[in-house]
Structure 1
Amino acid sequence: MINLSPTNNILSRRYRGQRVVLIVPCYNEEAAIAQVVQSFRAALPELDIHVYDNCSTDRTAEVARAAGARVTTVPLRGKGNVVRRMFADTEADLYVMVDGDATYQANAVRELINKLLDDQLDMVVGCRVTPEKEAGMAYRRGHQWGNRMLTQSVRSIFGGQFTDMLSGYRVFSRRYVKSFPALAQGFETETELTVHALQLRMPYGEVSTAYGARPAGSESKLSTYRDGWRILRTVARLFISEKPFTFFGIMAALLALLSLGLAAPLLIDYLHTGLVARLPTAVLCASLMMSAMLAFACGLILDNVARGRHETKRLAYLSIPAPGAAGPSGVDVP
């Protein structure tokens, strides 16, 4: 749990009347974490900095603690598990989340927070911008293309105007954080963060921020193909669970069209001869049409279930005041 014993110091650490916390998920970031803590403290001294160490095998926790951050160890491996723990344990009015690899611009933190407060938003994403000549050092081969493809797939399914869905630099309101279910385990958590905002129709925004290469001695933990596949599966899972009527409606339409396509020649033969020449095909057509009807019925039922879940999350979201609308939350205990 978070030790908040020096109450007076914490109460005075406000930015525009809001208590702001920096939450940093880390795994083996000994070479970069001190730079992250120091750069963000210099950019916004009011930040309360928490580093969540995901059982690193190096000195990440020791270095972060020496740099002045509060360190919590998360035993379950995976960034999604760390995000779940961060959102559950940390109490604040505004949450700044950034990866512990020192690739994001700390000086942009004020701009992100100001945009959230001024425009009354619930999430602001720091969209990564890298000069073309530096892209090879900042990204692995195929990462930029994969990011665009996955972002476009989410936009096509859920709507929205996100341009960098997988950015690890974000600012959240308290009501966003405390209504987020956090079901993902790994790097697919950014997909869930994006879809959560879209499904609850939260106001969100984007700010372009510089994105650079990792410091020397720091290595990326992202696996291009394995994690890309996991993110794609998460998009498909969220499509089924959050928009079941659309998914099963498409399946029902495809099955019905296939059934009608196969049945057309049989119907023509029957009208000319009065006989069903290919009985197995007729049975297949009937089975496909029944499957289409079942898919349509499943879509209707699951759509009502999904609607109930959305209403529950919406009520949890509405139970917390908007950032800056009713003053700071005043919640200073875990």
Structure 2
Amino acid sequence: MKSEKQAMSQSIAVAIPCYQEALTIRKVVEDFQRELPDARIYVYDNNCTDGTAEAAALPGVIVRREKRQGKGFVVATMFEQLEEDVVIMVDGDDTYDASHVHKLLEPILLGDADMTVASRLTNHGDGSFRPMHLAGNRMVCAIINRVFGSKVTDIFSGYRAFSRDSIRHIPITTKGFDVETEMTLQALYRGQVIREVPAPYSTRPEGSFSKLNTWSDGSLVLLRLFLILKSYKPLTLFGAMGLIMAILGLAVGYLPTHDYFTNPGHYVDHVPSAILAAALMVLSMISLSVGLILNSINLRLLELERLTIRRSK
């Protein structure tokens, strides 16, 4: 917990990743300049061809370009470049309310959270979410909460605030729109405190279009979830895979086992089933062993990371 004086003395950056947002970026910038007159506003132009950079070039605004295409690359560059004590990340499509930034900032400034997230699911306009996006959000949140013991409700929100320490310890490896998922999972794995703040979510203005593709971006999110679990929760992932294979092996092996104990001379009629059952049980043991080994390695790496962080302070 920080004192009020310490909280008020912290520098703040507002970082806005953009791709083809000429229609809305000017309003987004002006709204945040009004709410946070002392903050530095950074607009990251991700190869826009519609005049986004020109529309954002207001007095006091710093426009930077990220040549590598993809929101993940933009966020990684933001995290590398920005040195302010607190960083607010918001999309440039004017779907988030700038007036709620103070509620996002408060837990960070006071030292009560490492990351705050504007949760949109309790207050959103009609048509703001595609049905598949809403269902996917809830499904991914349910998996994450189950695995990490967390209580996140909006994994895909693009309106967040971070402490400087949080940013320093979150590696960004993805290049696309699954970056919000990765940030959340990396923070949870490292024990960072994430607070969600209910915030309204509006539909895009007329003439502004979402760049999300339900199926391709959805599959990327699921792939990212799998890769994060493989890397950071191997015992959970490989243990679950091993359990599934063991259950299948027991089910397939029922008839061969029954043959062995009931037929004269222990003759097994269902030989293919016996071979498949044995293979499944062996794979189950291998999967569990891999999970245990990787989990032990991860624990050692996490210990080293935390010791390094402690010594660097």
With normalisation by structure 2, the TM-score equals: 0.90
Aligned partner letter, 1:302: L
Contact residue 175 and residue 318 of structure 1 kept, 8 A: no
Deviation at 1:99, TM superposition (A): 0.5
Counterpart position of 1:70: 62
Partner residue in 1 for 2:126:
135
Look up the match of 2:150: 160
Q: Which has the higher contact order (CA 8 A, sep 6+)?
A: 1
Q: Name the CA shift for 1:161/1:66 in 2 (closer, same or farther; >3 Å).
A: same
What is the aligned-residue RMSD (CA, Å)? 2.2
1:253 aligned onto 2:263: no
Change (3 A) 1:318 1:173: farther
Name structure 2 gaps, 5 residues minimum.
Answer: 1-5
Q: Give the whole-Å Cα distance in 2 for the aligned partners of 1:251 and 1:311.
A: 27
2:212 is the alignment partner of 1:215 = no
Distance in 1, Cα, partners of 2:243 & 2:135? 32
CA distance in 2 between counterparts of 1:194 and 1:186 reads: 15
Counterpart position of 1:42: 34
The count of residues paired between Structure 1 and Structure 2 equals 306
Partner residue, 1:325: none
SS at match of 1:40: helix
Kindly state the Cα deviation for residue 162 of structure 1 after the two structures are TM-superposed.
Answer: 1.2
Give the letter for the 1:260 counterpart. Answer: L
Q: 1:265 to 1:131 in 2, by over 3 A?
A: closer
Q: Which moved more, 1:98-107 or 1:118-127?
A: 118-127
Q: 1:220 to 1:249 in 2, by over 3 A?
A: same
Of 190-199 and 277-286, the range deviating more from structure 2:
277-286
Q: CA deviation at 1:319?
A: 5.7
Amino acid across the alignment from 1:101: D
2:169 corresponds in structure 1 to: 179
Trace 1:10-49 onto structure 2 (pairs within 5 A).
16-49=8-41
Which of 229, 233, 252 is 1:243 aligned to? 233
Counterpart of 2:106 (choices 107, 114, 133) is 114
Q: Alpha-carbon deviation of 1:224? A: 1.9
Q: 1:99 to 1:71 in 2, by over 3 A?
A: same
Give the 3 Å change call, closer, same or farther, for CA 234–86 of structure 1 in structure 2. same
Matched residue SS, 2:126: helix
* Structure 1 residues 19-44: Cα deviation after superposition (integer angstroms, max 9, x where no partner): 11111100011111111111101001
Instruction: Give the structure-1-normalised TM-score.
Output: 0.85
User: Matched residues, percent identical?
Assistant: 39
Q: Alignment partner of 1:182: what SS?
A: coil
* More off after superposition, 265-274 vs 294-303: 265-274
Out of 91, 94, 105, the residue aligned to residue 97 of structure 2 is 105
Deviation at 1:154, TM superposition (A): 1.9
The CA deviation string for residues 213-233 of structure 1, in whole angstroms up to 9 with x for no partner, is 223332211112221221122
